[in-house]
Structure 1
Amino acid sequence: MIKTRLLLLCALSAFLMGIEAQIAFVEDADIDKKKVNLAGRKPLYSPARCPRYQLLYPGDQQLDWVCDCAPATLYYPETDACYPAYRQGPCEQGQMLVLYKEKIIPECVRNPCNTDGHFMIRDTCYEFGNTKHEGNPCPFKEYTYVLGVNPINLMVDCVKLSVQLETRISQDEAAAPPDYHIELAEKCSRGSRLLAQGRCT
C-alpha cells in the first residue's frame, strides 16, 4: 500500500513537473516600430524618469513607456548609459566614443585632437558648436551652421545650430535641451539601447 502511494505520488509529481516545464512566458517581446499603438505617441523629455541623454519613448503596449538614448547619443553597454557621439563619455582621457557604420556597439577610439568636444578635419582641430567665424569649418556660417553630430546618421557634419531661449515665465518647464534633438527622436534608431540589446524588429 505504501509502495503504491509512493509510486502514485512520484507519478503525479512527474506529471505536474512535465506540465510546468511546458509553460513559458515571453520576457522581452520585440518592439515593432510600426505598431498601431505607437501612432500619435511621441517621445518625451522626462528627466525625472530617464537618465541623462535619454528620452521616454512609447513602448509596445498602449500605456508602456521605455527610456532610451536621445538622437546623436550612443548606448554604451559596459556602463548601461547613453553618451553624446564623438565625445569622451565613458572613454579614457584623449579618447572619444564612436559608432562605426557596420557596428552596433560603440567603441572608444583615440581623439587626434586630444581634447573632448573637438574633432579633426584636414589636420585642424575644431570645437563642436563653435559659432566663431574663424573656428567654424562649416559653409553657410551666416545661417548658423556649426560642426556637430548629425542626429540622423550619427556622423560629424555641419548642423544647423539649435537655439532655445529660456525665460523666467515658461510655458513648458521640462523642455528638452537642444542637443537632445527631440523632434528627430525615433525609437530603435542606430546607437540606441534597444537596438544594441536586440529588442527591435
Structure 2
Amino acid sequence: MSVKNVVGVLALVLGSVLAAPREFYVDPSRIYTPDDLEELRIAAAYEKCVRTPGCDTTIYSFPQPRVKCQEGAGAEAMMNEMVGVRVGGTGSTCNSMAGEVVWPATGQCVKLLSQGPCPPSEWVKLARSNLTPVCAPRPCDSQDNAVMINGVCRPINQPSPSAPTSCPPTQRLVTNEFGEGECDCVPGTVFYQGTQRCYTPYTQGPCTTGYIIKVVDSGMKGEARCVPNSCPKPNMVRLDQNCQTRDSGEQTTCHDLNSQGPCESGLLRIDNTIAEPLCITTHSIFGTIGPRCSRGSIRDARGRCRTNLAALLRNTPPIVTSRPRLQSDNRQCPPGQVFLAGICLKLAS
C-alpha cells in the first residue's frame, strides 16, 4: 500500500473513531502514524459493533492511554516518602541527599563542600564535634579533583590498585560531609551488604532469577535489597499513570530503562541521587555538580544521608566523639559508644 493510500485509510478510520462512543480512548494530542493502523481498525470495528444490535462488544480490547511523563515527573512524591531527606530552612526546604544543609546564622540552605557564605579558600563542611555546618580552610585547594586522605592530597579518581588508599571494586573515593576522603559507591549504583559491592538498581545484580536489586527505605536510611521483579525481565520498571513506580496494580506498564519509554523528553534512567527511575536528560534532576549522599550508598545505609543530626543533638548533654575503627570484638566503636553518622558517640557523664 502506498503512503498516500495509508494516509487515506488513516483519515477514514480516524474519522470513524472520533465519532465513536466514549468506551475507548482517542488522544486528540497524539499524532497517529501508519504504525497505529491496526489499533485504529479495531477501534472502527468496535464503533460499528456498538451501532449493530446484538453485537458483542466485549470481544474488543484496547490499549490503555499512553502515559506521558515530564522530565523529573514523580520525583517530588518519591522525596516526600523518604524520611529525613527534607531539612527545614527559612523559606526553603533543604535536600540532604543533594548535599544541602541549613546554615545556622541565616536558616538558608547551603551546599556542603562549596564556598557558600565562607571567605575565599574556605568551604562549608560539618564539624565532627557537634555535626553543624562550619567554614573551614579547603584542603587541596590548589589541586583540582583531589581529596584529603590521612593528611595527603590524593586524586579523586580511583588510585592504582597497588596504592594503599585504593577503594574496593565498584567503589571510588569521594569527599564526605566532613571534607575528608572515603570510599563509597560509584554514582548510579547502590551498596549491597551481602557482597560488600555496589550494583545498578533494577538489575539482577547478586539476586537470584526473578529478583532485582533496589533500595528499600527503613527509617532514616536506605538499604539495597533483593526484591521480586514485577516486570518480565531486569532493567525494566513498572510505572502507573502518574509516572510513579509501582510493584503491581492495574493501569501500570513495564518500560525498559535507558529508553525513551513514556518520557516526553530525555530517557527513562536511574537518577544518581535518589536511585529511582525518572525521565531525565542528565544523570540526576539535582544537577551534575556538587556533593551528594545518594540514596542506597554506603553512607546512606549507615544513616548519614537523611538525618539532621545537629538538630537531634542540639538539646542533649555534651557528647564524647571518636573516630570509628575495628575493635577486637569486630565492633566499629569502643565499649559504651555507638556508631552514628560516621563517628562514635557517647553522652558525657
Shorter-chain TM range is: 0.5 to 0.7
Q: 1:107 aligns with which of 221, 225, 233?
A: 225
Equivalents in 1 of 2:298, 2:214: separation in Å?
15
Describe the SS at the equivalent of 2:182. Answer: strand
Q: By how many angstroms is 1:155 displaced? A: 2.0
Question: In the comparison of the two structures, how many residue pairs are matched?
Answer: 147
Equivalents in 1 of 2:289, 2:169: separation in Å?
17
Describe the SS at the equivalent of 1:194. Answer: helix
Task: Establish whether residue 65 from structure 1 lines up as the match of residue 170 from structure 2.
Answer: no
**Which residue in the other structure is 1:193 paired with?**
298
Q: 2:280 aligns with which of 147, 159, 163?
A: 159
Task: Establish whether residue 138 from structure 1 lines up as the match of residue 263 from structure 2.
Answer: yes
Equivalents in 1 of 2:137, 2:202: separation in Å?
34
**Structure 1 188/120 Cα, relative in aligned 2: closer, same or farther at 3 Å?**
closer
Equivalents in 1 of 2:201, 2:290: separation in Å?
15
**Which residue in the other structure is 1:118 paired with?**
236
Residues 76-85 or 107-116, more deviating: 107-116
Q: What's the TM-score once normalised by structure 1's chain length?
A: 0.56
Q: What's the TM-score once normalised by structure 2's chain length?
A: 0.35
Task: Establish whether residue 75 from structure 1 lines up as the match of residue 217 from structure 2.
Answer: no
Describe the SS at the equivalent of 1:195. Answer: helix
- Measured against aligned partners, the alpha-carbon deviations of 1:129-154 in whole angstroms (never above 9, x if no partner) come to 125xxxx21112xxxx1111112222
Q: 2:258 aligns with which of 129, 153, 156?
A: 129
Identity, in percent, stands at: 25
Q: By how many angstroms is 1:58 displaced? A: 2.8
Q: By how many angstroms is 1:183 displaced? A: 3.8
The aligned amino acid for 1:84 is T
Residues 122-131 or 84-93, more deviating: 122-131
Q: By how many angstroms is 1:47 displaced? A: 6.8
**Structure 1 109/42 Cα, relative in aligned 2: closer, same or farther at 3 Å?**
farther
Residues 186-195 or 75-84, more deviating: 186-195
Equivalents in 1 of 2:237, 2:185: separation in Å?
22
The aligned amino acid for 2:203 is R
Structure 2: gaps of 5 or more residues: 1-127, 148-155, 161-165, 241-251, 303-339, 344-349
Q: By how many angstroms is 1:109 displaced? A: 0.9
**Structure 1 148/37 Cα, relative in aligned 2: closer, same or farther at 3 Å?**
farther
Describe the SS at the equivalent of 1:107. Answer: strand
**Which residue in the other structure is 1:92 paired with?**
208
**Structure 1 68/146 Cα, relative in aligned 2: closer, same or farther at 3 Å?**
same
**Which residue in the other structure is 2:171 paired with?**
54
Q: By how many angstroms is 1:110 displaced? A: 1.1
Describe the SS at the equivalent of 2:300. Answer: helix
2:217/2:223 contact within 8 Å kept: no
Describe the SS at the equivalent of 1:67. Answer: strand
- Measured against aligned partners, the alpha-carbon deviations of 1:56-80 in whole angstroms (never above 9, x if no partner) come to 1136888x63210123321111111
Structure with the largest fraction of strand: 2
Equivalents in 2 of 1:114, 1:159: separation in Å?
24
**Which residue in the other structure is 1:176 paired with?**
none
Greater RCO, 1 or 2 (C-alpha within 8 Å, sep 6+): 1
Residues 183-192 or 122-131, more deviating: 183-192
Structure 1: gaps of 5 or more residues: 1-28, 163-178
The aligned amino acid for 1:196 is A
**Which residue in the other structure is 1:13 paired with?**
none
Describe the SS at the equivalent of 1:120. Answer: strand
**Structure 1 98/60 Cα, relative in aligned 2: closer, same or farther at 3 Å?**
closer
**Structure 1 90/160 Cα, relative in aligned 2: closer, same or farther at 3 Å?**
same
